[in-house]
Amino acid sequence: MSYASYPPAMRRLVNELTKLPTIGEKSAVRLAYHLLSHDPSQALELSEAIKEARLIVRECERCFGLSEEPLCEICCDQARTRSIVCVVEKPADLIAIERSMGYRGLFHVLHGLWSPLRGVNPEKTRIRELFDRIERTHADSDSSERIEEIVLATGTTVEGDATALYIANSVKHFPVRISRIAQGLPKGGELEYADEMTLSHALEGRRRM
Amino acid sequence: MSYASYPPAMRRLVNELTKLPTIGEKSAVRLAYHLLSHDPSQALELSEAIKEARLIVRECERCFGLSEEPLCEICCDQARTRSIVCVVEKPADLIAIERSMGYRGLFHVLHGLWSPLRGVNPEKTRIRELFDRIERTHADSDSSERIEEIVLATGTTVEGDATALYIANSVKHFPVRISRIAQGLPKGGELEYADEMTLSHALEGRRRM
């Protein structure tokens, strides 16, 4: 008989860690060993932080960004332009746009993209809620809340493009402007190293100076 | 004013995750988002598994392998050869040797290697406890527990070699055989692709057939 395994509680921890994205068994063992062999308070604080975040953080009822309140800070901020809604795939994209300081409107977080190859249809995302949201603000007599522009800021991948197109087609019957974030050379980009698709989009989207 | 950040509970979780080895901020955000957006029970089970493992798993009082009891299963197993102790750096190495099914003696887990460059001196590992353990079994009249051979199975890195040499020199005054795991070609290895150090060790360690 051989004891080719860790104690049960460590095995359970390794097993839970491997359920996380990008964590394989070797990484899980390394992380578990780190948690067991360093300062005990570090492991207990991580345990507590996971539980607390899971119990407290929810999706904003309007934009589906992450929030600890029914409505997130952005949706509550009356100083923002409320007639324009930027549609993103996930909370990290919203944060990236906020950090760019180039946008002062509201958001809508889809929590996914239309991806037939991975079996994700639009109904599994918050696309339906976006349509409802537009409809609601147009039915409402309060014009300050009326959505007049939708900026489709999903990634420029096949899935991001497909989702943007799907949304654009679906909201055509509303009197809203639809725009797509620009594609082109990244800041500091050299033409020599840009791929053909990026260059072709950069030329196509050229603007008068 | 911009809200370029996640809700406080998510920030705390991201912060705790970045304390883990190999987890940078982008990975931490991805892991935290996964935990918050999937099945809630998955996050709560991970939280519980961390806490439980941290509270239950300890080091075996004799070999310092991971255990849920004061003495681990290997140290308690009277069917194993108790006169031979294999010295390894970390629990994962012990598990690797057990899985090889090629060893039936006891272990000693150092939990670190002598690494002057990283400021780890031998006293920060369980090396002192190894010397005490050898001394104790030799002072003891019970000959069945007497350690007669130490197999130095630290890795064949600079630090693994230095630690093995340090231990070998320090236990010279005990009547114990000291051996080092063999270095050579890995199983299935082609000479053409072996590095020079490996080949030189493989030739030096050649055995009569």
Residues in chain A with CB shorter than 8 Å from the CB of B32 are: 53
Which residues, including other chains, have CB under 8 Å from residue A33's CB and lie 6 or more apart? B90, B91, B92
Q: What ipTM goes with this model?
A: 0.83
A12-45 pLDDT, tens per residue? 999 999 999 999 999 999 999 999 988 889 999 9
3-state SS, residue B179: strand
Per-residue pLDDT for B2 more than 70? no
Q: Look at residue A33 in the predicted model and tell me its pLDDT.
A: 95
Is residue B65 within 8 Å of residue B72, measured between CB atoms?
yes
What local confidence, expressed as pLDDT, does residue A1 receive?
A: 41
User: Is A112:A120 a contact under the CB 8 Å cutoff?
Assistant: yes
Mind giving me the DSSP string for B86-103?
EEESSHHHHHHHHHHT--
**Do residues A137 and A97 lie in contact, with contact meaning Cβ atoms separated by under 8 Å?**
no
Put simply, the answer to whether B7 touches A50 (Cβ < 8 Å) is: no
**Domains annotated on chain A, with CATH:** 3-56 (1.10.8.420), 60-208 (3.40.1360.10)
pLDDT digits (tens, 9 = 90+) for B187-196: 877 878 888 8
| Dihedral class, residue A196 (left if φ above 0, else alpha if ψ from -120 to 50, else beta) | alpha
Closest Cα in chain B to A100: B4
Which chain B residues contact residue A17 at CB under 8 A?
Answer: 46
State whether residue A88 sits within 8 Å of chain B by CB.
no
Grade residue B39 by pLDDT with cuts at 50, 70 and 90: confident
The average confidence (pLDDT) of chain A is 90
Indicate the residue type of B28: A
Residues B124-176 have pLDDT tens digits of 899 999 999 999 998 877 777 899 999 999 998 889 999 999 999 999 999 99
B119 vs B62: which has the higher pLDDT = B62
**In the beta sheet, which residues pair with residue B199?**
none
pLDDT in tens, A65-118: 999 999 999 999 999 999 999 999 999 999 988 888 888 999 999 999 998 888
Quick check: B1 pLDDT over 50?
no
Residue window 97-116, chain A: list those with CB within 8 Å of chain B.
98-99, 101, 111
